[in-house]
Amino acid sequence: SQQGEEDPQALSIQEGENATMNCSYKTSINNLQWYRQNSGRGLVHLILIRSNEREKHSGRLRVTLDTSKKSSSLLITASRAADTASYFCALRNAGGTSYGKLTFGQGTILTVHP
Amino acid sequence: ETGVTQTPRHLVMGMTNKKSLKCEQHLGHNAMYWYKQSAKKPLELMFVYNFKEQTENNSVPSRFSPECPNSSHLFLHLHTLQPEDSALYLCASSRAGGSGGFRTDTQYFGPGTRLTVL
């Protein structure tokens, strides 16, 4: 099954700046999710966007989905040093025998400097 | 990370040892997962259990043996591992529902077990 490809692989910014991460994929999806992982810890779910949605917000997070381009972006506004983590997109494919399974990308490592 | 616990948090074992990883979820979910996370690789799904039944085995070597005695507990039994099996092993759970399949809209992860095979 496919996995999302995140870009960039690493991003380094100053506190207060916005951070944008992108995820591209190849086949049809039911939904796309973004997760965050602090170093050596478990993943934490941030936001889910369904294939019939184009944009979702949660606090300082904004996710967009363009199914025609098969891509999604995660924007973190007014970043803080505590946002330093790895961010992963996860795909739930539409249909097929692997329904219900999430496929994770390699992630974007975000570093926010105080 | 709250709601899903994993023990031990760190494990060092030799290639001839037998050990088990434990995962417990307190969220009332009925789907549970084992993932392997190695450096510079995407998260790899290993096993999926839905209502205690294994529904996915992602071509995992037999030296990894899962066990799901009930919807709240998941084990990963390890034996004769290789050094390349060293990784962070993550457990997750989600709500399942619907006939003929299940929805994994959100997965909740444990903190992981850092495994080192010498």
Residue B27 burial (CB count, 10 A): 13
Residues of A in contact with B90 (CB under 8 A): 42-43
Given CB atoms, is A105 within the 8 Å cutoff of chain B? yes
Cα dihedral: B54, A2, B98, B76 (round 10)? 20
Beta pairing class for A10-14 and A108-113 = parallel
A32 C-beta neighbours (distance < 10 Å), count:
26
The verdict on B86 touching A (C-beta cutoff 8 Å) is: no
* Six-digit token string for A78: 């007014």
Tens of pLDDT along chain A (114 residues) come to 567 888 999 999 999 999 999 999 998 888 999 999 998 889 999 999 999 999 999 999 999 999 999 999 999 999 999 999 999 999 987 765 444 578 898 999 999 999
Cross-chain Cβ contact A106/B1 below 8 Å? no
**Residue closest to B31 by CA, chosen among A93, A99, A86:** A99
Write out the DSSP string of A71-107: EEEEEE-S--GGG-EEEEEEEEESSSTTTT-EEE---
